[in-house]
Structure 1
Amino acid sequence: MTWFTTGLLALSLVLVAPVFAQAPLKIGFGMSLTGPLAGNGKAALIAMQIWAEDLNAKGGLLGRKVELVYYDDQTNPSTVPSIYNKLLDVDKVDLLPIVMQRNMAFMGLFGLNVNSKFDYDRYFQIMPAGPEPAIGWTQGFFDIAMGLSPKPQTIALVGADAEYPALALEGARAQVKRTGLKVVYDKTYPPNTVDFSPIVRAIAATNADLVFVASYPPDSAGIVRAANEVGLKARMFGGGLVGPQFAALKTQLGPLLNGIVNYETYVPDVAAKFPFLEQFLAKYQGRAIREGVDPLGFYLPPYAYAMMQVLEQAIKATGGLDQAKLADYMHAYEFDTFVGKVRFAKNGEWAQPRMLTVQYHSVAGNDLEQWMRPGHVTVLYPASYATGTVKVPYQDNKK
């Protein structure tokens, strides 16, 4: 992500009217196309390109062809100011303070609790974490846990000493306070950690009922492997592991994911709730395979497309690119998108949280095909999307 959000991907879009009436309507943004987050950036870019192609095939926007203008930020924060000053002066901008200074409408793609630092009234976020993102991000894990009988009593919290894990753990601690759980372990580890066995052994020694982990993909893989090697025992394990949402970790870890309770944004098991996604995913997956990026496309791409749909609908409804009108409209109205109905709260986050909490099961081997069809994920939360109930303890469901 970017340097001020979750470490997954951050994207902002700002619209500027072209000089000539018949010129393309340009949408500009920065994207990580090289560096550690290139896989995320390329996947989101494919989704946005599909949106532009779909829209242009229907006549464009405001009677003009839509053109995406973007630069590679190389997953490097030092490149951001020059990229976004250039985009703003020629087209648009991403860097949040600059966006605020120029009074532009800003949309983010999967940045956790970004606007809490700035309280910018033209900020909008497509990630479905709800009006209190750190709380909404962790809500499902804790609601499911506290529904167990008997109720869990103790919890271990662990995460990297980095931005996303810090925010996720902040939300987890708020949930701990709400539920009255006793914390028996609460530590962070350096981001360059490669051996997670000592950490998992220390957690195992506490005999915690619940183990909540907030980690980036490399750490997630290491922690899951260590949990299996050490023989971690807990009623529930997972929560905020970033990585299992992507094909790479799904296939790398395979059956090691069984029993883990974690978050997702889309899985085939709830396809009936998203009737328009099948067509999009068919387009995305074919292109993604050719371009060597995440071939599933369940995590970021649908929301990248939905983000563009929100902008499209707001522009059409207001009849132009007036930033104040766009922001006012986006605050006031509900949007129909490929990921369902979207309404924004006052702070620009989703008015209602809808992160999925799932449990992986029946994963056999490391092939990708099994993840492309229902049968290996039970959706536990929210209730309106649930396909089953949690099975505990974790160690008895690792098959």
Structure 2
Amino acid sequence: MAALAAATAAALAACGPATGGPAQGAGDGPGKGTLTIGVSLSLTGDFADPGKAAKRGYDLWASDVNARGGVLGRKVSLKVVDDTSNPNQVTTNYTNLITKDKVDLVIGPYSSLLTIPASQVAKRYGYAFLEPAGGGPKVFAQHLDNLFFVQPAAIVKQGDIFVDYLLSLPPAKRPKTAAFASLDDPFAAPLADNVRKRLEAAGIKTVYAQTYPDNLTDLTPVIAKVAAAKPDLLVSGTQSEDAYAQVKAMIQLGFNPRWLFVSNGANNPVEFPDKVGEDNTEGIFTTGDWFAGSQQPGAPGFVKAYLAKYGGQENDIDTTSAEAYSVGTLIEQVAKKTGKLDNETLISALHSGTWRTPVGDLSWDANGEPKGHYTLVQWQKHRLTPVYPAGTAAAGPLTAKPAWGE
């Protein structure tokens, strides 16, 4: 993955100065023409489920803002293309969106894997790059001033709130041993490594740790080794499909750790219970920035609009949809505050102050890394429930995971 990102950067640099895109003056100006926004999403491939959730969020914002008269009087039109969850295709897509389709703005795909090459294309052509789902360390290590990750904190810090919770317990009630099973992915592995370092520093012993390749679909052998180590706690650094596979393997092997933290996949209120069984979710910890019942500014309005457009129940809304919707609200806010909307203005404005969104109050450092923190949530009674910190908790955490199927 690192080699791919480096090769992409080198290829872009070799092309010489960029020309041809509306990088400095998005389209026709206030009240004139259509505001065309390009986005590459994983509508097929490994990231298809969250990719489609992101599309729902983007589409919802576009329909909402158009009902309000558009952005500075300009109707929003989204041009969405499928990247098939492939980094090479995402590079091609954003290059074409900017140089051939000449879109006014671009917004981000799903995953750090795709965000890295996509953001390099955007930087090459002088475009702002607001993205809802690429927060791995390598994203920010690019030092791109045009990139803004639209979640409360970097992904590697997503597990910090879980560690904070564990360390808030009396030492006698904390886990004594921990195992770590993580996907070889720029999001998943660094998150698990960060949790491991903090727990080891607090005296919690690591009894097993493995990073498995991204093409491994049967995780039973991995979980069998975890189970043999008999840890009190399992930290699973995951994306979506491998999260489901890990849980299925635990159920099959009858391995039920007292504490189970699953970084991604488990925070999907729709796909996770569908993939692993609704009765197999109880007691699993994960983290989130939006959840059913959230009272963050704009969150109730987002929920109302989502249910009106797509139906269903609040508990069925994917957090990725809220994150993608928040990308749009930031574009709208910058336009309202500055009276104009171009890439240079977006970049400059977002690097100043704090901006309110349905996923929280956001601000960023020079590399696009957010400065906030996540909320610890736990599956309780078939729904994701905020349990820590106390100021946002809707219930107390279950300190021992129930048996599977309970």
With normalisation by structure 1, the TM-score equals 0.82
Q: Aligned with 2:386: secondary structure?
A: strand
CA gap of 1:19–1:361, structure 2 versus 1, over 3 A, is closer
Cα shift at 1:26:
1.6
User: Considering only aligned residues, what root-mean-square deviation do their CA atoms show, in Å?
Assistant: 2.9
1:303-335 Cα offsets, whole Å, 9 max, x none, are 111111111111222222343332221111222
Confirm or deny that 1:387 pairs with 2:406. no
- Aligned with residue 106 of structure 1, among 108, 114, 129: 129
- Aligned with residue 115 of structure 1, among 116, 139, 144: 139
- Corresponding residue for residue 319 of structure 2: 299
- Corresponding residue for residue 146 of structure 1: 167
> Which whole-Å CA distance do the structure 1 matches of 2:141 and 2:207 have between them?
30
**When the two structures are aligned, how many residues end up with a matched partner?**
368
- Aligned with residue 262 of structure 1, among 278, 283, 286: 286
> Which whole-Å CA distance do the structure 2 matches of 1:73 and 1:377 have between them?
30
CA gap of 1:55–1:395, structure 2 versus 1, over 3 A, is closer
CA gap of 1:348–1:394, structure 2 versus 1, over 3 A, is same
1:267-313 Cα offsets, whole Å, 9 max, x none, are 32x43x246434433443454469xxx99223111111111111111
Give the AA of the match of 1:247.
Answer: V
> Which whole-Å CA distance do the structure 2 matches of 1:319 and 1:174 have between them?
46
- Corresponding residue for residue 19 of structure 2: none
Percent identity at matched positions? 26
Confirm or deny that 1:17 pairs with 2:44. no
Cα shift at 1:209:
2.1
> Which whole-Å CA distance do the structure 1 matches of 2:339 and 2:200 have between them?
47
Q: Aligned with 1:384: secondary structure?
A: coil
Matches within 5 A, 1:13-162: 17-19=26-28, 22-89=32-99, 90-91=102-103, 92-93=105-106, 95-113=118-136, 114-128=138-152, 130=153, 132-134=154-156, 136-149=157-170, 150=172, 151-162=174-185
Give the AA of the match of 1:344.
Answer: W
Q: Aligned with 1:238: secondary structure?
A: strand
1:111-143 Cα offsets, whole Å, 9 max, x none, are 123432211122111122x2x541x21112212
> Which whole-Å CA distance do the structure 1 matches of 2:345 and 2:404 have between them?
52
CA gap of 1:65–1:140, structure 2 versus 1, over 3 A, is same
Q: Aligned with 2:46: secondary structure?
A: coil
Q: Aligned with 2:316: secondary structure?
A: coil
- Corresponding residue for residue 331 of structure 1: 351
> Which whole-Å CA distance do the structure 2 matches of 1:250 and 1:83 have between them?
33
CA gap of 1:362–1:317, structure 2 versus 1, over 3 A, is closer
Confirm or deny that 1:356 pairs with 2:378. no
CA gap of 1:24–1:233, structure 2 versus 1, over 3 A, is closer
> Which whole-Å CA distance do the structure 1 matches of 2:307 and 2:27 have between them?
33
Give the AA of the match of 2:303.
Answer: L
> Which whole-Å CA distance do the structure 2 matches of 1:377 and 1:30 have between them?
29
Question: Is the 8 Å Cα contact of residues 259 and 400 (structure 2) preserved in structure 1?
Answer: yes
CA gap of 1:398–1:146, structure 2 versus 1, over 3 A, is farther
> Which whole-Å CA distance do the structure 2 matches of 1:223 and 1:172 have between them?
18
Runs of 4+ in structure 1 displaced over 6 angstroms? none
CA gap of 1:191–1:322, structure 2 versus 1, over 3 A, is closer
Question: Is the 8 Å Cα contact of residues 72 and 336 (structure 2) preserved in structure 1?
Answer: yes
Matches within 5 A, 1:311-330: 311-330=331-350
Q: Aligned with 1:188: secondary structure?
A: strand
Deviates more, 1:377-386 or 1:181-190: 377-386
1:68-109 Cα offsets, whole Å, 9 max, x none, are 222222222222233212211212556222222223221111
CA gap of 1:25–1:15, structure 2 versus 1, over 3 A, is farther
Q: Aligned with 1:333: secondary structure?
A: coil
> Which whole-Å CA distance do the structure 2 matches of 1:118 and 1:262 have between them?
28
Cα shift at 1:224:
1.4
Give the AA of the match of 2:179.
Answer: A
Question: Is the 8 Å Cα contact of residues 146 and 152 (structure 1) preserved in structure 2?
Answer: no
- Corresponding residue for residue 176 of structure 1: 199
> Which whole-Å CA distance do the structure 1 matches of 2:187 and 2:267 have between them?
16
CA gap of 1:22–1:233, structure 2 versus 1, over 3 A, is closer
Confirm or deny that 1:190 pairs with 2:213. yes
> Which whole-Å CA distance do the structure 1 matches of 2:243 and 2:55 have between them?
25
Question: Is the 8 Å Cα contact of residues 233 and 393 (structure 1) preserved in structure 2?
Answer: no
Give the AA of the match of 2:388.
Answer: Y
> Which whole-Å CA distance do the structure 2 matches of 1:41 and 1:229 have between them?
29
Q: Aligned with 2:159: secondary structure?
A: helix
CA gap of 1:145–1:240, structure 2 versus 1, over 3 A, is same
Q: Aligned with 1:332: secondary structure?
A: coil
> Which whole-Å CA distance do the structure 2 matches of 1:214 and 1:15 have between them?
39
